[in-house]
Amino acid sequence: MSNKLNSLENALEIVESVIKDSQAEQVFVNLQMSESSLSRFSENQMSQNLAKNRFNLTITSYYGQKSATSSISQNNPEAIKDALRNCETLAKLAPNDPEWIPLLPPQQYDIQINNQDHPSISPLANGQKIQQICQQCDLAKVQGSGTLSSTNSLNVIGSSTGLRANSRETKADFSITAKYQDGSSWSSGSANYLDELEIMNLTAKTIERCLDSVKPQEIKPGTYPVVLESAAFANLLPWVIFSMDARSSDEGRSFMSILDNSGKLIGNRIGQEIFSKIVQVKRGFNHPLLQTSSFLEDGLPNHSIDIIKEGIPQSLSYSRYWANKQQKQATGGFFPIVMEGSNRSMQDLISQTEKGIFISRTWYVNYVNPRTLEVTGMTRDGTFWIENGQISHPIKNLRFNQELPLALKDIEDVSKPERHGNNIIPGVKIKNFHFSSITESI
């Protein structure tokens, strides 16, 4: 992002010019510019390889409690001015917002440790990496498919109240699915930069697990101990953390709500030991494995917050509107999620398990009951039976129906945490996990 289009100086100039040109009572401006690359491969062949620049300017104009928002994707002064005027016209016609909240004044933000630019890798370099992956899959006679992507972005926000903030974010992602006969395996990884991804190691692990997953055996549905790889648990933990929302709790819609026998709300579960003591979760934008923003979308600081400490919920997430209504401190959303792990490997967790199920991926997770946070989903891409502390044999995939707060209560051990997307999650060993049926997914 070294060109003028994506320079911080240029971005600040654009935001300042919109605020200065605004005729509304108040205005909030959010500018996001990015360079990204995306490569896809399917059945050991490159299927897509591209790089693109993105410009997105969002303007929200306010007249009292009326507001409207316009977005524009071209960096053209006349087009930006037209978008601003249109936004103001629409704001005057809008109804009053019953949940209106004043714009924030200037804020104090934590220093973004990894706030540095980094050039995107060229499509040629990505293509060469994909070629190596496909060759490795060919040699093993498996069909490999997946994606390799990177994003280098700049975000600047500003308002007529004097709020100003900027951040740089980088992210690289790799995922691969390998298939052979009736076996399959999947792995994914995330990092700040492409050269930090262990692409070939992940590919080798996925191929080996794919070949080991052939001819799965059937087991009866029921409740079993499980060991979930960090990628599998990363698809479950956010359901818990994002459900720790103050409004849904105060309205009796959350697992955090306490209701009496008549269904009347009488409190919440903050301060109660409802999870395993091992469970420690924070909102932590400045984790060394991350490069994420020091501020949230509306300009609230993204300070580190203890969410769960030694199994005890410490905080609920308060939007600015709900915090004002309840006379609490606004926190904004709990993102990114950082869960504390250990120095133990996945093999260490498996070796502690006399009998149970190893899950490498959870898939198609959906609500069954939002009030209790019961969800349903399926295992996929490599599910194995554990016997006497060792992976014994592959098993057919299973559908699970599980109340996630109870699963977190039954966590017995955790592994070394890894980055998945913009969250840091360990693998976990859970004493009881309920499976309701066999599924034909692979």
Quick check: is 203 in a domain? no
Cα 377-357-208 angle, rounded to 5 deg: 95
190 and 256 assigned to the same domain: no
313 and 350 assigned to the same domain: yes
Quick check: is 323 in a domain? yes
pLDDT on residue 120: 57
Quick check: is 209 in a domain? no
Quick check: is 207 in a domain? no
187 and 253 assigned to the same domain: no
pLDDT on residue 34: 93
169 and 123 assigned to the same domain: yes
pLDDT on residue 7: 87
56 and 130 assigned to the same domain: yes
User: What total of structural domains would you count in the chain?
Assistant: 2
The model's pTM is 0.95
125 and 229 assigned to the same domain: no
- 355 near 429, Cβ under 8 Å? no
276 and 170 assigned to the same domain: no
55 and 87 assigned to the same domain: yes
pLDDT per residue as tens, the chain (442 positions): 444 445 899 999 999 999 999 999 999 999 999 999 999 999 999 999 999 999 999 999 999 999 999 999 999 999 999 999 999 999 999 999 999 999 999 999 998 776 555 555 678 889 999 999 999 999 999 999 999 999 999 999 999 999 999 999 999 999 999 999 999 999 999 999 998 999 999 999 999 999 999 999 999 999 999 999 999 999 999 999 999 999 999 999 999 999 999 999 999 999 999 999 999 999 999 999 998 999 999 999 999 999 999 999 999 999 999 999 999 999 999 999 999 999 999 999 999 999 999 999 999 999 999 999 999 999 999 999 999 999 999 999 999 999 999 999 999 999 999 999 999 999 999 999 999 999 987 6
Quick check: is 204 in a domain? no
Element (H, E) at 240: helix 237-242
Quick check: is 350 in a domain? yes
Q: Could you tell me whether strands 223-228 and 257-259 are parallel, antiparallel, or unpaired per DSSP bridges?
A: unpaired
224 and 273 assigned to the same domain: yes
Sequence-distant (6+) residues with CB within 8 A of 398 are: 219, 221, 357, 378, 379, 383, 435, 436, 437, 438, 439
Quick check: is 151 in a domain? yes
Structural domain span for residue 57: 4-136+143-196
- 288 near 266, Cβ under 8 Å? no
183 and 241 assigned to the same domain: no
CATH number for position 61? 3.30.2290.10
pLDDT on residue 148: 97
132 and 245 assigned to the same domain: no
Quick check: is 320 in a domain? yes
257 and 289 assigned to the same domain: yes
Q: In degrees rounded to 5, what are phi and psi of residue 38?
A: -145, 125
Q: Could you tell me whether strands 223-228 and 355-359 are parallel, antiparallel, or unpaired per DSSP bridges?
A: parallel
